[in-house]
Chains A and B, each alone.
Chain A
Amino acid sequence: MKLTPKFATLLTLSLLIALTPFFFPSGYYYRVGALIFVNGLAVTGIVILTGYAGQISLGHAGFAGIGAYACALAPVHLGLHPAFAVVLGAVVSAAMAWLVGRPILRLKGYYLAVASLGFGILVSMVLNNERELTGGPDGIDVPDLGLRGLLKDMGLTLTNGEFWYFFGGLCLLVGAWLALNLYDSPTGRALRALHGSEIAARTVGVDVARLKLHAFVISAVYASVSGSLLALQNKFVTPDVAGFMHSIEMVTMAVLGGVGSVLGAIFGAGILTLLPQVLTVFAEYEQLVLGLVMMLVMIFLREGLLPSILRKLRGTGE
């Protein structure tokens, strides 16, 4: 069987998810792993938007916020099962992305960055200020997904950490699989074409504005589902999930690992999720180190960590 890059990526990812737990010294690491997968899912959406289509968003945490608060609010106020709340969040995020994206995707570069940033800040401001509904800055409880209980009834008993590790891993695999399929599809090729040159893509008949909007909406759905999973996993959510720093983290993770490849971006999510865990000893230096890492990687390893490392391993010193 010929190993296409797509299957290589999915195989690597599955093996990593399945085998790493054997090296976990304690149950705490399942929790960190689950966090990496949730971030990895959001970052896979950034790969579609930034890596494939070449557009920048500094407001994707806004969509994560919509997904997270859908899981907190819809079960209580609409009586929806949390699983359907995830879907509702994704639909609302997609609709918002479509509404916001339609006018701003005509713009480029910094304009898109600042427009999306404005959107993200508006979402986080609403979450902070509408205390009656959202609980304000103190956050709000999120109901249990109920899937773990279901598995237990079927005879599979997992700790909370284990459940979210494997369920999160599964979601990430599905997300990565969809993103990789998109890459090879005609839409994916058209997206990469407009990344190369919008004008050239337009002259060969690519509907540039429509495709950018598609990429924006799809990546918003990824961010929304990621936010939902984070909320369900923690059973609690605060407006920080929609904050400016979270948006920056998403983009940084993707670009750090290598925004051109799904595996690279997930690798970046892993590193940036682990960094604060390692740095808890030096909590005072966390911001200093984060800022330094962001600058150094962008200056010296422009494609991101993973592609640079792979190139080094292959020894093609281009």
Chain B
Amino acid sequence: MPLSELLQFLFSGVTVGAVYALVALGFTIIYNASDVVNFAQGEFVMLGGMITWFAHAAGLPLPLAALIAISATAALGVAINAFAIEPARGAPVVSLIIITIGASIFIQGAAQLVFDKQIHSFPAFSGDDPIRIGGATILPQSLWVIGGALAVFVALWAFFTHTLLGRAVLATSNNRLAAQLVGINTNFVMTLSFALSAAIGALAGVLATPITLTAYSVGIGFALKGFAAAMLGGMGNPKGALVGGFMIGLIEALTAGYLSSQYKDAAAFIVILLVLFFLPQGLFGRKSTDRV
């Protein structure tokens, strides 16, 4: 049965990988627009799950609860930009790291107060009957997660290459001043990027919670893995984020299956250290040069 076993590990790897890919895509959008690595990205995932659970438990139908969660998280993303990132424009990288980590701790603290410290979940979208493929099984919810990641990626690709607004975001990430000079409202671009990134994070939380469960403290883990994925793919590259996410998920699942489930989290970080040593720009990154 080793082949079906392998297949089973691959299925679970691709499922968590899809979640990491969504988080990494969220990182990428904000990083491109503002050169900020938003360490609060994982909290968006947590909020997506927690708000949906809360609204669903309060009696709202699941799709409506999910919609509320995604909109509320997007609004929070906009607020983080307006009140924490925008006022600190031009601050050194250390300060920005601390600000976004501060935002992350703040959101966790608030989630503890508003919700609770318990572990929560809500029903899967299409039932819990596993689908059998080649001796292994996959949950219907996994297909939702994987489909979600792919759909978001395609939508982002279309947005950035085929719409005026998307190209404005790209222009801003290339050169903010030049973008302003040709009439792009860069403040709006920043707001949009944070809203989009937060919404994608929340979507990841909504899709993954029936499988992974959620609690106020799950954000930091998603942030670290998503960050690792974004870095593996090459910071700022959406294709890299997608591939990096799936790769981290697969490496983790294979480590857990064949080596040690205790050290599955270590695998991601060992890969990251190796990538940084031997391939500092990531798989799809550009080589950066400094202007003196």
- The answer to whether B94 and A294 touch across the interface, beta carbons within 8 angstroms, is no
- With A110-B37, A125-B266 as given contacts, are A103 and B276 in contact (CB-CB < 8 Å)? yes
- The answer to whether A113 and B276 touch across the interface, beta carbons within 8 angstroms, is no
Q: Which residues of A contact B106 (CB under 8 A)?
A: 287-288, 290-292, 294-295
- With A109-B93, A121-B265, A298-B91 as given contacts, are A114 and B109 in contact (CB-CB < 8 Å)? no
Is A140 an interface position by the 8 A CB rule? no
The residue from B94, B107, B224 contacting A121, defined by CB atoms under 8 A apart: B224
Q: Which residues of A contact B95 (CB under 8 A)?
A: 255, 298, 302
Min CB distance A290 to B, Å, is 6
- The answer to whether B99 and A299 touch across the interface, beta carbons within 8 angstroms, is yes
Q: Which residues of A contact B159 (CB under 8 A)?
A: none
Q: Which residues of B contact A153 (CB under 8 A)?
A: none
- The answer to whether A56 and B231 touch across the interface, beta carbons within 8 angstroms, is no
Comparing A142-150, A160-168, A213-221, A244-252, the segment that makes contact with chain B is A244-252
Q: Which residues of A contact B104 (CB under 8 A)?
A: 291
- The answer to whether B98 and A107 touch across the interface, beta carbons within 8 angstroms, is no
Q: Which residues of A contact B231 (CB under 8 A)?
A: 110-111, 114
Is A115 an interface position by the 8 A CB rule? yes
- The answer to whether A114 and B105 touch across the interface, beta carbons within 8 angstroms, is no
Min CB distance A221 to B, Å, is 21
- With A115-B273, A255-B95, A295-B106 as given contacts, are A129 and B101 in contact (CB-CB < 8 Å)? no
Is B122 an interface position by the 8 A CB rule? no
Instruction: Mark out the residues of chain B between 208 and 263 whose CB falls within 8 Å of any chain A CB in the assembled complex.
Output: 220, 224, 227-228, 231, 235, 262-263
How many residue pairs link A and B with beta carbons under 8 A? The number is 133
Q: Which residues of A contact B228 (CB under 8 A)?
A: 114, 118
Q: Which residue of B lies closest to A118 (CB)?
A: B269
- The answer to whether B263 and A115 touch across the interface, beta carbons within 8 angstroms, is no
- With A104-B277, A299-B88 as given contacts, are A288 and B269 in contact (CB-CB < 8 Å)? no
| Range, interface on chain A | 35 or more
Q: Which residues of A contact B266 (CB under 8 A)?
A: 121-122, 125
The residue from A106, A199, A291, A300 contacting B290, defined by CB atoms under 8 A apart: A199
Q: Which residue of B lies closest to A56 (CB)?
A: B94
Is B97 an interface position by the 8 A CB rule? yes
- The answer to whether A294 and B107 touch across the interface, beta carbons within 8 angstroms, is no
- With A115-B273, A248-B101 as given contacts, are A110 and B94 in contact (CB-CB < 8 Å)? no
Is B108 an interface position by the 8 A CB rule? yes
Is A262 an interface position by the 8 A CB rule? no
- With A114-B272, A284-B113, A299-B99 as given contacts, are A294 and B224 in contact (CB-CB < 8 Å)? no
Q: Which residues of A contact B270 (CB under 8 A)?
A: 118, 122
- The answer to whether A286 and B277 touch across the interface, beta carbons within 8 angstroms, is no
Residue-wise, chain A 92-109 has the 8 Å CB interface mask toward B (1 for contact) of 000000001001101101
Residue-wise, chain B 89-120 has the 8 Å CB interface mask toward A (1 for contact) of 00111111111011111111110110000000
Interface of B is mostly: helix
Instruction: Mark out the residues of chain A between 7 and 25 whose CB falls within 8 Å of any chain B CB in the assembled complex.
Output: none
- The answer to whether A56 and B108 touch across the interface, beta carbons within 8 angstroms, is no
Interface of A is mostly: helix
- With A103-B276, A114-B272, A287-B108 as given contacts, are A129 and B262 in contact (CB-CB < 8 Å)? yes
Tell me the bound Cα distance from A58 to B103 in angstroms.
16
Tell me the bound Cα distance from A56 to B91 in angstroms.
14
**Interface size, chain B (Cβ < 8 Å):** 44
Tell me the bound Cα distance from A50 to B94 in angstroms.
8
Is B292 an interface position by the 8 A CB rule? yes
Residue-wise, chain B 74-93 has the 8 Å CB interface mask toward A (1 for contact) of 00000000001001100111
Is A119 an interface position by the 8 A CB rule? yes
Q: Which residue of A lies closest to B102 (CB)?
A: A294
- With A56-B97, A103-B276 as given contacts, are A122 and B269 in contact (CB-CB < 8 Å)? yes
- The answer to whether A107 and B292 touch across the interface, beta carbons within 8 angstroms, is no
- The answer to whether B108 and A291 touch across the interface, beta carbons within 8 angstroms, is yes
- The answer to whether B98 and A111 touch across the interface, beta carbons within 8 angstroms, is no
Tell me the bound Cα distance from A110 to B92 in angstroms.
11
The residue from B84, B92, B93, B265 contacting A125, defined by CB atoms under 8 A apart: B265
The residue from A106, A125, A248, A299 contacting B87, defined by CB atoms under 8 A apart: A299
Q: Which residues of B contact A252 (CB under 8 A)?
A: 98, 101-102
Q: Which residue of B lies closest to A120 (CB)?
A: B269
Q: Which residues of B contact A114 (CB under 8 A)?
A: 227-228, 231, 272, 276
Residue-wise, chain A 234-256 has the 8 Å CB interface mask toward B (1 for contact) of 00000000001000100110010
Is A117 an interface position by the 8 A CB rule? yes
7 pairs of A and B residues whose beta carbons are closest in the complex: A291-B106, A294-B102, A287-B109, A288-B109, A291-B105, A118-B269, A295-B102
- A56-B97, A119-B273, A298-B99 known; 8 other A-B pairs, CB under 8 Å? A118-B228, A121-B265, A290-B105, A291-B108, A291-B109, A294-B106, A299-B87, A302-B92
The 21 sampled A-B contact pairs (Cβ below 8 Å) are A104-B277, A109-B93, A121-B265, A125-B265, A198-B290, A199-B292, A255-B95, A284-B113, A285-B113, A287-B105, A287-B106, A287-B112, A288-B106, A288-B110, A291-B107, A291-B108, A292-B106, A298-B95, A299-B99, A302-B92, A302-B95
